[in-house]
A = this chain, B = another copy of it.
């Protein structure tokens, strides 16, 4: 079934059953998304009511297509979806997406229906994505089974989410941070294929550098653990878990039919499996971006540099908590920095390094970076305060990042709108940048946790 799922997630041909030119129930149909993103595979709309949809020939049913199908997207209600799934199975389709809700998350009848779904899937060995899902996107294939349209671009992060809305929040946060996605998968009820299946299959895709998961509850935590542990040995996996409160469990049950369960047990399991756990959708994006863009540190010694000390102080609060050390700078570095910013600058040079207003000059900033290049730090936390009238030393920071080959997080104190074009340029130059010191710290902390996890496993295996 895994090979079929792989083909379904990389479809060369797709049928969309229940497509409509007046798609009320699911907003706007996948056909629109496929056409507007220039999907290169074959598109077969299916609806007996139409001759064509958006200029593409429309078929009355699956059978009349007469070609192999990698994926069948089923937009019909939960009852009608069963018949189409059966038909797709008979025709040997490699996979199906069932969007409709109305299964185990609503009542006993729905539960029975979900069991029927599982039986059909098993009988024909057809993997099912969903039900009760927005479907998935594979951005490197320009493929979208999802029925709503959102703005992003191909990238290195695979978002796999038990909730379309929270997955969307992670995806939007990444877009705000100028990070693209490789995949965006809605697990939904996960009646047939769950997190472990998606992790395994998507892990084969060379475009993927990081996984970013949103989990409500896991049916099979042991299977997830075994699978995640194998993945995290090679690739970072970020996880955000819902349902810390008991009352939330009730709401979750009627959402994707999952029990959120004992949060503490999940937390321990995530840690053991080497996942990087975060506390919000935004932080999932922050950590995923850092893990996708940066090298891992080879130790825990961080150097912070700023010309307005406050941001490095609030960053320090978080970095120290996570286990980073702030060793002092060497006398050699101290002399080097003095020679750049002047002997008389009234500031005590220590780590965090506060250059004061003199650091605001691009030539001074890059001069000090040159001094720090060979100092024995494992990571850098560089703050720049945006000023509409002073050039940001982007090329100099890019050079530093390339030279040191260590993780460097840049914090640009600016609002999102004035930062936009710089964030684009920095992303292109592979400089990892955030707009608040707290986000910068969250980013470095994710790297340190992954470094420690890999180190722990290395020790265990030695």
Contact = CB atoms under 8 A, between A and B. Distances in A.
Interface string A169-185: 10011011000000000
A161 B310 CA distance: 9
A393 interface: no
Interface string A105-149: 111001000000000000000000000001000000000000111
Nearest to A250: B350
A288 interface: no
B385 A166 contact: no
A156 interface: no
Nearest to A280: B438
A342 to B, nearest CB: 10
Nearest to A321: B245
B388 A150 contact: yes
A164 B308 contact: yes
Interface residues of A, number: 96
A149 B320 contact: no
A382 B415 CA distance: 25
A317 B148 contact: no
Given A106-B347, A248-B316, A350-B254, A310 B78 contact: no
A163 B313 CA distance: 10
Contact of A150 (B101, B310, B313, B386): B386
Interface in A299-325: 306, 308-314, 316-317, 320-321
Nearest to A254: B348
Contact of A168 (B102, B173, B244, B413): B413
B251 A175 contact: no
B417 A251 contact: no
Given A25-B357, A247-B326, A176 B316 contact: no
Nearest to A175: B415
Contacts of A206: none
Interface of A: 24-28, 32, 77-78, 100-102, 105-107, 110, 134, 147-152, 161-169, 172-173, 175-176, 214, 216, 240, 242-245, 247-248, 250-252, 254-256, 280-282, 306, 308-314, 316-317, 320-321, 326, 346-348, 350, 352, 354, 356-358, 360-361, 383, 385-390, 413-418, 420, 435-439
19 contacts: A27-B357, A77-B346, A101-B347, A148-B360, A150-B414, A151-B415, A164-B385, A169-B413, A169-B437, A172-B435, A176-B416, A176-B417, A242-B313, A243-B317, A245-B316, A248-B317, A251-B309, A280-B436, A281-B436
Contacts of A147: 357
Contacts of A162: 310
Given A25-B358, A176-B417, A346-B78, A281 B321 contact: no
Contact of A314 (B173, B281, B320): B281
Contacts of A347: 101-102, 106, 254
Given A101-B347, A106-B347, A436 B173 contact: yes
Contact of A309 (B24, B244, B255, B312): B255
B248 A169 contact: no
A313 B245 CA distance: 10
B281 A106 contact: no
